[in-house]
Amino acid sequence: MKQSVWSRLRPGQLGALLLSMLIPLAGKGIDNVALGTWPTACTGDLTATMAYSYSGVADQYSIDYSTPANESGFADVVHAPLTGNPLIIDLPPGVDTGHFEALITFRNSESGEESEPVAFVVAVLACEPPYLLWVPLAEGEVNGNAVSITGCDPESGNVICYGLEYTPGLTGDVTSYTTGFVMNCVGGMNPFVSQKSAYMSGGASVDDYCGALGAIVVFASANTGSFAVQANTPVIIHQICLSIPLLDTLVVSMLPGYGDVSLDLAGGGFSNESLDFSTYRASWEQECLTMPLTWLDFRVSRRDVSTALLEWKTTEEYNNDYFDIQHTTDLSQPFVTIGQVAAAGDAGPEAVLRYSFVDAAPAQGVNYYRLRQVDRDGRDDYSPIRSLHLDKGSSFVEVLPNPVATQLNVKVRQSNGVGHLSVFDPFGRQVWYHATEGNNLDQPIDVSQWPSGLYVVVFSDDTSRHTEKIVVKH
C-alpha cells in the first residue's frame, strides 16, 4: 500500500491544505511558496503548466499525487530537476475529465532541505465548445471597451481584473449573454469593484449578501448591441474587477441557470448556447506571486514631447541580476533590446524596489515595450507588454502626486482643441469634471474628502486620450 504524505494526513488536514493553498508556507530554508493558477488541460492534452515562486534556493521538485489520481494514471515525481517556470505537468495519455489532487514540494539537492508540501489540483476538462473561462488580465489590457485596472501593488487596493473568455461552438453575432457567478465575501466585505461588457451594454448587476449569507452574486450580462464570433475561437466578452485582500481566496462558481449566449447565426436563424464552466479560485497571490520576482507595477508614459519614461516596481527579488528593456513598433516583429538596468539583487517581501529607464528616441506612432528579467543563473521572465502612442500633435499630461491625500495636480502641457478632464471612482462613476482649452493648464483637484481607494483620471481632446490610475490614501 502506498505510503506518502497523503497517507500521513489526519482527517481534515487535506481540506485545510486546499483552503490555504496560496498562503506562504514556512519551510526550513525554502519557504514563501506560492503557486499560480492551478494546471488546467483539455482531454487529449499531454501536458499542463503551473507557475510558482518561493524564497530560498531550490533545484528540484517532487509531486505526490493522491491515490485516485495515481489510479487514473498520474505518476508521482521524485526529486526532478527544476528547469523552468512555469512547471510542465505531464498528463496520462487518454486521461478522462476530472479534478486530480496533488502535493508539491521544492528541494535543495545539496543541503537536502525541502519546503512544506503545498496542495494543488490538476483539472482536466472536456473543453468542448461552448464553454467559459475566467482569465486574469494584465494591467492596462484592453478588450473592446473594457480596460483592465489590475494592480499587483497592495497600495492600489489589491485589484485584480478577470476576463470572461467565451469559446463559441457556433459562428454568428452574439445578441445577448447571461452569466451569474456566486463568490464568497472576504472578512465580511464585498470584493466587487467594477464590471464592464467588452462589446455590449445593459443587464449587468451585483447582489450583495455579505451580511446575510457571506456571499455576493455578480450578474455579468449584456443585452444591448452585438458582436461577431467565430466557432472555436476564444474571445473576452466581459471584465470583472475584484479587490482581494492578501492571503484570501475567492471561490467563484456559476449560478445554476445563468450561463447562456444568444446568437444570430451566420447562415440565418438564431440559437442559444449553454456554457460549461469550471469553478475558479481567485487570489491576489495566485496572479501576482508566481514569478522569480513579483511585478508590482510597470507603466510607460511620455516624459516630455519626444521621450518615453518606463517605470516599474518589484518586490521579493531573489537571485535577480538585471533587466533588459525591449522595444518594437510591430508585434509581428521581434523585440529589440534598447537598454539594460542592473537589479538590486535580493529583497524580501517588505521591500518595494523602484526602477526607471528613459527611451530617448521612441518612434512616432505606437511603441511597444516589455522588460526581460534575468536571474544570475540565466533563467528569465518577461513583464506584460505596455504600449505608448507618440504623435507630435497629441496631448502631454502629467498627474501628480500618486498616491495622493489632499490635492491632486493635473498638468496639461499640450492640448488640441477643447479638452475634457474627468475623474472616475472604482465603480465607474464620474466624481469630478472640468472642460479645458489651450496649453499649459495646471488644474488642482481637492481629494481630501474622497474615500480612500483607486480612481481613474481621464483627459481627452480632439486627437488623443490619456488615462492614469491614482490612489487616494488618507
In this structure, of 55-59, 317-321, 417-421, 440-444, the range with the lowest mean pLDDT score is 317-321
Amino acid at 385: I
Q: How far apart are CA 352 and CA 311, in angstroms?
A: 13
Instruction: Assess whether pLDDT exceeds 70 at residue 154.
Output: no
- pLDDT above 90: percentage of residues in the chain: 30
Superfamily of domain 294-390: Immunoglobulins (2.60.40.10)
> What pLDDT does 293 receive?
53
The mean pLDDT of 386-411, rounded to a whole number, is: 76
Q: What CATH superfamily is the domain 5-125?
A: Immunoglobulins (2.60.40.10)
* pLDDT score, position 375: 76
Per-residue pLDDT tens digits for 180-221:
999 999 878 899 999 999 999 988 999 999 998 899 999 999
Q: Which of 134, 157, 107 is nearest to 427 (CA)?
A: 157
The distance from CA 186 to its chain's CA centroid, rounded to whole angstroms, is 19
Q: pLDDT-derived band of residue 27, with 50, 70 and 90 as boundaries?
A: very low
On the question of pLDDT at 7 being above 60, the answer is no
* Spans of all domains in the chain: 5-125, 131-288, 294-390, 396-472
Predicted TM-score (pTM) above 0.95: no
Distance CA 94, CA 98 (A): 12
Q: Which amino acid is at 255?
A: L
Strand partners, 328: 368
pLDDT value at residue 378: 67
Mean pLDDT for 301-316 is 77
**Residue 462 pLDDT grade (very low, low, confident, very high; cuts 50, 70, 90):** low
The type of residue at 322 is Y
**Beta strand segments in 17-75, E:** 31-35, 40-42, 47-50, 52-55, 60-65
Report how far apart, in Å, the C-alpha atoms of 2 and of each of 8, 70, 470 are: 11, 10, 55
Q: How many helices (H) and strands (E) does the chain have?
A: 5, 38
pLDDT at 416: 63
DSSP-assigned beta bridge partners for residue 359: 308
Q: Minimum mean pLDDT among 106-110, 264-268, 335-339, 355-359: which range?
A: 264-268
Judge whether residue 298 has pLDDT over 90. Answer: no
341 versus 31: which is more confidently predicted? 341
Average pLDDT, stretch 430-454? 83
Residue type, 373: Q
Dig out the grid coordinates for 206 from the structure: 451585483
Domains 5-125 and 294-390 in one fold: yes
Quick one: fold of 396-472? Immunoglobulin-like (2.60.40)
Cα separation, 190 vs 437, in Å, equals: 40
Q: What's the chain's average pLDDT?
A: 80
What is the number of alpha carbons within 13 Å of residue 215 lying toward its C-beta?
13
Most confident of 80-84, 95-99, 225-229, 283-287: 225-229
- The residue among 321 and 389 whose pLDDT is bigger is 321
Q: Which CATH class is domain 131-288?
A: mainly beta
